[in-house]
Amino acid sequence: MTLDRTTTIDGLLPEALRLDFPYLAQELNGHPLAYLDSGATAQRPRTVLDAERDYLERSNAAVHRGASTLVGTSTTAFEDARATVARFVGAGLREIVWAENATDAINIVALGMADAAAGLGGPEAAVFRLGEGDEIVVTEAEHHANLIPWQRLAAKTGATLRWIPVHDDGTWGIDDAASVIGERTRLVAFAHVSNVTGHLAPVADVAELAHRHGALVLLDACQSVPHRPTDFADLGVDFAAFSAHKMLGPTGIGVLYGREALLDALPPARTGGSTITTVTMESASFLPSPQRFEAGTQPVSQAVALAEAVRYLDALDMQRVHEHEGALAELLVDEVAGIPGIRLLGPAAGVERAALASVDVAGVHAHDVGQFLDSRGIAVRVGHHCAQPLHRRLGLRATTRASAYVYTTPDEIRRFAAALAEVRGFFGIDA
């Protein structure tokens, strides 16, 4: 990878890095593409695409199955990828479990807890056993991926699902959390950064509060790990989930982080080959983490490509990525705030937010807003962003979201704002 550090996007990241992303060179409806939908899925640099192909051309073989030289090569590549990802988030080697995506990672915990409640897992799984009188706490702002698995767990175990309420701007704070988390709380699950509001949760404070009440903490880190230096041990969370495709990596692979002792005690919800020590006709005993959770053939080339994405981000330096996005977030808020008829969700100007902005345009449905932007070459996300309860709470059904990443330029943010300012006029709504 060659990064030209002389010309820069807003003085922080190399301008030339855009050349690493073939996708970005496209046109959309006759305009240069402004890809402002990285919150949904990010584009991949050529090195990541090449890493996957290179692995397949030279190293592809079964992993952890057999004893040949080839299996040695593939297994080493697979486990090196795990080590690279572990280092990136402050985790130990046995604390990183491959999943299909973040949604799947959250489900591994929720389904494992349901198994524990059903009696599986022995005495060490007691910490996961929920029942009537116990409470699972989420927030009103969660992505469906971090809500529905807990609804199901509550339904299976008789536990009660409660939620931390959000304010009218969609944000919440430690006081709101403290009004819900208490003696009955057994698990608190929440997003580090909201994919709708860009709000940053007070993770360490919530983890401390939850632990004081003996509750476990699961962090949905989908919108944080790709965008800011993240160390799960420092944050003090017990579990965390994120997806490769939002951090310059491939689809088909996500990560479950868990504290080693907890992962070793969590019943594996999916079982089968590669997860076991001894199998008889009656029963099986399971390997420690991570193998106990990685049933069946794994997404090996995807793991290798994810590790390459991590190396790419490391080379950019996550602190710089974070500062670059901080600057873009400020610009987004500045540009959008001045447009008549626009309601910007999330933290007020001056309060830290991720480089994403969801807006409601008075009198124009989000689909129509998105279509207008599309015609100008600007790709955004429209809809409820998998957060129906949050939208309902804010009196909305759908919003339009622009989200930035390492390759996003200030010019693209300005194009978004300029086009947004024209939308109401186009649809005949008085400015």
Partner 1 sequence: MSDLSGLYQELILDHSRRRIGDGELADPHATHHELNPTCGDEITMGVRLDASGTRVEAIGWVGDGCSISMASASALTELATGADLERVRQLIDGFRSMMRSQGAGEADEDLLGDAIAFHGVSKYVMRVKCAMLSWVALEACIAAASAGSAASSAPTTTT
**Residues that are catalytic:** 386
Among 143, 227, 324, 353, indicate the residue that binds ligand PLP (CB under 6 A).
143
Span from 75-83, 130-138, 265-273, 421-429 in contact with partner 1 (CB under 8 A): 421-429
Please report whether residue 228 would count as binding ligand PLP according to CB under 6 A: no
Whether the CA torsion 271, 273, 274, 278 is positive or negative: it is positive
Span from 14-22, 220-228, 284-292, 302-310 in contact with ligand PLP (CB under 6 A): 220-228
Query: Total residues contacting ligand PLP (rule CB under 6 A)?
Result: 14
Q: Give which of partner 1, ligand PLP, none residue 243 binds (C-beta under 5 to 8 Å, depending on kind).
A: ligand PLP
Q: How far is the CB of 399 from partner 1 (least distance, A)?
A: 10
Q: How far is the CB of 418 from partner 1 (least distance, A)?
A: 14
Q: Give which of partner 1, ligand PLP, none residue 428 binds (C-beta under 5 to 8 Å, depending on kind).
A: partner 1
Query: Total residues contacting partner 1 (rule CB under 8 A)?
Result: 20
Among 107, 171, 197, 223, indicate the residue that binds ligand PLP (CB under 6 A).
223
Q: How far is the CB of 120 from ligand PLP (least distance, A)?
A: 25
Of residues 315 and 429, the one with the C-beta less far from partner 1: 429
Instruction: Name the burial class of residue 218, with classes exposed (0-12), middle (13-18) and buried (19+) by CB atoms within 10 angstroms of its CB.
Output: buried
Q: Give which of ligand PLP, partner 1, none residue 220 binds (C-beta under 5 to 8 Å, depending on kind).
A: ligand PLP
Distance between CA 220 and CA 201 in Å, rounded? 11
Q: Are 105 and 232 in contact (CB under 8 A)?
A: no
337 to 376, contacts with partner 1 by CB under 8 A? Answer: 364-368, 371-372, 375
Whole-angstrom CA distances from 166 to 122, 187, 398, 403 are 38, 19, 17, 22
**Cis ω on the peptide bond leading into residue 290 (within 30° of 0)?**
yes
Please give the structure tokens belonging to residue 84: 């690279």
Distance between CA 36 and CA 365 in Å, rounded? 19
Q: How far is the CB of 276 from ligand PLP (least distance, A)?
A: 27
Whole-angstrom CA distances from 355 to 72, 92, 173, 366 are 42, 29, 20, 19
Distance between CA 267 and CA 128 in Å, rounded? 9
Among 191, 218, 240, 339, indicate the residue that binds ligand PLP (CB under 6 A).
191
Which residue reads 């099986």 in tokens?
284
Please report whether residue 404 would count as binding ligand PLP according to CB under 6 A: no
360 to 399, contacts with ligand PLP by CB under 6 A? Answer: 386
Q: How far is the CB of 245 from ligand PLP (least distance, A)?
A: 6
For residue 422, count other CB atoms closer than 10 A to its CB: 14
Please report whether residue 427 would count as binding partner 1 according to CB under 8 A: yes
Whole-angstrom CA distances from 159 to 105, 129, 211, 297 are 21, 10, 18, 34
Q: Could you give the angle at which helices 410-426 and 318-337 cross, rounded to 10 degrees?
A: 30
Q: Which positions lie near ligand PLP, rule CB under 6 A?
A: 101-103, 143, 145-146, 191, 195, 220, 222-223, 243, 254, 386
